[in-house]
């Protein structure tokens, strides 16, 4: 089964995201900040990363920059999922190597649509 | 619960005005769709709204009811496949046939709040380099003034721009305005929105090379479907295309359009050419 790393410092958000992502038939791994997420990626590179922006220790933007420098770190599809919902943040995220961007609040339809956009899921 | 004869009355009026077939078991649909209208019109209940419409034969209220009952659900690049068909099959064929100094006309019938025509406009903008001097006009129509207003404004909520729209397209084709997103003027200008009821004469719209009529006819009875398809054929170029919803077909309803093999939802007029890409 393919894995998706869910990175968010809110346990509640991680739980909601996990439920949605498991329904899309991904196995879920959780991390509470960018540094934990990077550790998880070094252990096993996931196929997808759902990534919050503002987190303690290492934020989402620094994580994606670091990930893209890792060996095999170009592979995972990185989908930001954040309350930062302005054009400047979106373009900065894309420039740093993110593939898609979800503006919170989100629901299952949006995650599914974004996973389709990036080819993680076939369009229904 | 809405009374059965109120349901029958509303169903008959909506059918007469829009062709919408509302079966007798759709009481729940009436409740959920008419409640906001009743509130907006200042009635204490749906029953009061229908009662006033019946008593006064108010054309304005009856149109409001019809509009509220129609399904306006849509999103950007809905179902994907039709847009792939457009980009990979229809556009290359027609641009070859019309030549770089030619023009193609596209009609989005029942465009609701505009996501379908704007999706096509974004695609065309992205394909511009390959199209040379080919001019493209998109006409988008709906019978409901409220959704047309929204379509013309081209302003969408954060929720709406996240369904079906790739983030690169949001960045490329939209501007942020507060917590909403407005489609850029170059895309907006590519679409000409007009009010048009499919039950009424639409010959005035002119002739089209491609007609998108998706998830519209499913709400009509068989006679209305036949009649609308026949009139669409009259407005279609001899080598034109028709795109319908994934769950729809012209088979048994129209001989003017033939299904294109291996391309679900795509139909061609008698002289329609097809690309040689593998199905």
Regarding whether B259 and B215 lie in a shared domain, the answer is yes
Mean pLDDT of chain B: 93
Mean pLDDT, each 10-residue run in order, chain A (124 residues): 96 97 96 97 97 97 98 97 96 97 94 92 73
If pLDDT is split at 50, 70 and 90, which confidence band does B191 have?
very high
pLDDT of residue A1: 87
Nearest neighbour of B80 by CB, restricted to A102, A114, A123: A123
Nearest neighbour of B171 by CB, restricted to A85, A91, A116: A91
Pick from A50, A86, A114 the residue to mutate for testing the B interface (most B CBs within 10 Å): A114
Task: Spell out which residues of chain B touch residue A109, defining contact as CB-CB under 8 Å.
Answer: 163
In chain A, % helix, strand, coil (3-state, to 5) comes to 40, 20, 40
Nearest in space to B115 (alpha carbons), one of B62, B193, B33, B208: B193
Domain assignment present for B74: no
Nearest CA of chain B to the CA of A42: how many Å? 28
* Interface membership of B177 toward A (CB under 8 Å): no
Coil, helix or strand for A16? helix
Domain assignment present for B59: yes
Domain assignment present for B170: yes
Domain assignment present for B275: no
Find out whether B279 and B262 touch, Cβ atoms under 8 Å: yes
Q: Is the peptide bond before A105 cis (omega within 30 degrees of 0)?
A: yes
pLDDT of residue B205: 97
Q: Locate tokens 């329904």: which residue? A: A23
Domain assignment present for A117: no
Nearest neighbour of B163 by CB, restricted to A100, A101, A109: A109
Judged against a pLDDT cut of 80, whether residue B239 lies above it is answered with yes
Number of domains in chain A: 1
**CATH code of the domain containing A11:** 3.40.50.2300
DSSP chain B: ---HHHHHHHHHHHHHHH-----TT-HHHHHHHHHHHHHHTT-SSHHHHHHHHHHHT-HHHHHHHHHHHS-----TTTTSHHHHHIIIIIHHHHHHHH-TT-EEEEEEES-TTSHHHHHHHHHHHHTHHHHTT-EEEEEEEES-HHHHHHHHHTEEETTGGGSS--HHHHHHHEEEETTEEEE-HHHHTTEEEEE--TTS--GGG--EEEEE--SSGGGS-HHHHHHHHHHHHHTEEEEEEEE--TT---TTT-SSSEEPTT-TTEEE-TT-----S--
**CATH code of the domain containing B53:** 1.10.155
Judged against a pLDDT cut of 80, whether residue B254 lies above it is answered with yes
Find out whether B69 and B63 touch, Cβ atoms under 8 Å: no
If pLDDT is split at 50, 70 and 90, which confidence band does B24 have?
low
Span B25-54, pLDDT tens digits: 677 888 889 999 999 999 999 999 999 999
Residues A67 and A70: their CA atoms lie apart, in Å, by: 5
Span B74-110, pLDDT tens digits: 899 998 899 999 999 999 999 999 988 899 999 999 9
* Interface membership of A83 toward B (CB under 8 Å): no
Backbone angles phi, psi at A116, to 5 degrees: -70, -45
Regarding whether B264 and B140 lie in a shared domain, the answer is yes
- Domain of B33, in residue numbers: 4-69
Interchain pair B167, A109: CB under 8 A = no
**Residue in B closest to A108 by C-alpha:** B163
Backbone angles phi, psi at B198, to 5 degrees: -65, -20
Domain assignment present for A12: yes
Task: Spell out which residues of chain A touch residue B158, defining contact as CB-CB under 8 Å.
Answer: 85, 103
Interchain pair A110, B167: CB under 8 A = no
* Interface membership of B73 toward A (CB under 8 Å): no
* Interface membership of B259 toward A (CB under 8 Å): no
Judged against a pLDDT cut of 70, whether residue B186 lies above it is answered with yes
pLDDT of residue B25: 67
Regarding whether B180 and B96 lie in a shared domain, the answer is yes
Interchain pair B166, A100: CB under 8 A = yes
Regarding whether B113 and B47 lie in a shared domain, the answer is no
Of B16, B36, B69, the last residue of a domain is: B69
Find out whether B250 and B229 touch, Cβ atoms under 8 Å: yes
Residues B46 and B165: their CA atoms lie apart, in Å, by: 36
Domain assignment present for A68: yes
Domain assignment present for B208: yes
Interchain pair B80, A116: CB under 8 A = yes
Pick from A85, A97, A103 the residue to mutate for testing the B interface (most B CBs within 10 Å): A103
pLDDT of residue B241: 97
Judged against a pLDDT cut of 90, whether residue B279 lies above it is answered with no
Regarding whether B64 and B85 lie in a shared domain, the answer is no
Regarding whether B172 and B54 lie in a shared domain, the answer is no
Please give the model's pTM, rounded to 2 decimal places: 0.91
Tell me how far apart the 2 most distant CA atoms of chain B are, in Å. Answer: 60
pLDDT of residue B132: 86
Interchain pair B171, A90: CB under 8 A = yes
pLDDT of residue A6: 98
Residues B279 and B275: their CA atoms lie apart, in Å, by: 10
Q: Which two tokens stand for residue B98?
A: 């019309």
pLDDT of residue B273: 87
Regarding whether B163 and B117 lie in a shared domain, the answer is yes
Regarding whether B42 and B107 lie in a shared domain, the answer is no
Domain assignment present for B43: yes
Regarding whether B110 and B27 lie in a shared domain, the answer is no
Domain assignment present for B278: no
Domain assignment present for A39: yes
Number of domains in chain B: 2
**Residue in B closest to A112 by C-alpha:** B163
pLDDT of residue B22: 84
Domain assignment present for A16: yes
Q: Locate tokens 């999706």: which residue? A: B119
pLDDT of residue B2: 84
Domain assignment present for B65: yes
Regarding whether B97 and B220 lie in a shared domain, the answer is yes
Nearest CA of chain A to the CA of B82: how many Å? 12
**Residue in B closest to A92 by C-alpha:** B171
Nearest neighbour of A113 by CB, restricted to B164, B170, B179: B164
- Domain of A6, in residue numbers: 1-45+60-74
| B271-275 CB contacts, 8 Å cutoff, 24+ apart | B271/B238, B271/B239, B272/B93, B272/B239, B272/B240, B272/B241, B273/B93, B273/B96, B273/B97, B273/B239, B274/B89, B274/B93, B275/B88, B275/B89, B275/B92, B275/B93
Q: Which two tokens stand for residue B120?
A: 């096509």
Domain assignment present for A116: no
Q: pLDDT > 70: what percent of chain B?
A: 98
Backbone angles phi, psi at B183, to 5 degrees: -65, 140
Task: Spell out which residues of chain A touch residue B179, defining contact as CB-CB under 8 Å.
Answer: 85
Whether the complex's predicted ipTM is more than 0.85 is answered with: yes
Residues A93 and A86: their CA atoms lie apart, in Å, by: 11
**CATH code of the domain containing B175:** 3.40.50.150
Q: Which helix (H) or strand (E) holds A21?
A: helix A11-23
Regarding whether B242 and B213 lie in a shared domain, the answer is yes
pLDDT of residue A124: 56
Regarding whether B133 and B17 lie in a shared domain, the answer is no
Domain assignment present for A90: no
Task: Spell out which residues of chain A touch residue B159, defining contact as CB-CB under 8 Å.
Answer: 110
């Amino acid at each position: 089964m393919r894995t998706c790393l869910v990175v968010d410092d809110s346990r509640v958000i991680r739980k909601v995201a996990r439920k949605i992502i498991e329904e899309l038939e991904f196995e879920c791994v959780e991390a509470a900040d960018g540094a934990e997420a990077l550790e998880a990626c070094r252990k096993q590179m996931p196929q997808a990363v759902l990534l919050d922006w503002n987190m303690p220790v290492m934020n989402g933007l620094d994580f994606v920059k670091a990930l893209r420098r890792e060996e095999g770190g170009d592979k995972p599809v990185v989908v930001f999922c954040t309350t930062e919902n302005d054009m400047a943040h979106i373009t900065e995220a894309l420039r740093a190597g993110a593939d898609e961007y979800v503006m919170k609040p989100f629901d299952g339809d949006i995650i599914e649509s974004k996973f389709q956009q990036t080819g993680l899921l076939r369009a229904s | 619960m809405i009374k059965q004869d109120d349901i029958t009355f509303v169903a008959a009026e909506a059918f007469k005005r829009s062709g919408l077939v509302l079966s007798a078991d759709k009481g729940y649909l009436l409740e959920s769709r008419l409640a906001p209208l009743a509130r907006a019109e200042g009635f204490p209940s749906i029953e009061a709204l229908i009662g006033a419409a019946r008593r006064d034969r108010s054309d304005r209220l009856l149109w409001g009811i019809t509009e509220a009952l129609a399904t306006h659900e849509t999103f950007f690049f809905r179902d994907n496949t039709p847009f792939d068909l457009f980009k990979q099959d229809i556009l290359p064929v027609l641009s070859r046939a019309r030549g770089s100094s030619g023009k193609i006309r596209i009609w989005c019938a029942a465009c609701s709040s505009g996501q379908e025509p704007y999706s096509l406009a974004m695609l065309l903008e992205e394909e511009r380099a390959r199209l040379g001097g080919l001019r493209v006009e998109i006409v988008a129509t709906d019978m409901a003034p409220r959704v047309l207003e929204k379509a013309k404004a081209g302003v969408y909520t954060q929720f709406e721009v996240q369904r079906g729209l790739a983030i690169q397209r949001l960045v490329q084709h939209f501007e942020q305005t507060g917590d909403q997103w407005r489609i850029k003027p170059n895309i907006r200008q590519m679409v000409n929105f007009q009010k048009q009821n499919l039950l009424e004469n639409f010959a005035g719209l002119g002739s089209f090379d491609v007609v998108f009529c998706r998830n519209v006819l499913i709400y009509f009875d068989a006679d209305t479907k036949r009649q609308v398809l026949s009139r669409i054929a009259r407005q279609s170029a001899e080598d034109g295309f028709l795109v319908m919803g994934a769950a729809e077909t012209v088979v048994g309803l129209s001989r003017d359009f033939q299904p294109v093999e291996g391309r679900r939802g795509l139909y061609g007029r008698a002289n329609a050419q097809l690309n040689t890409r593998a199905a």
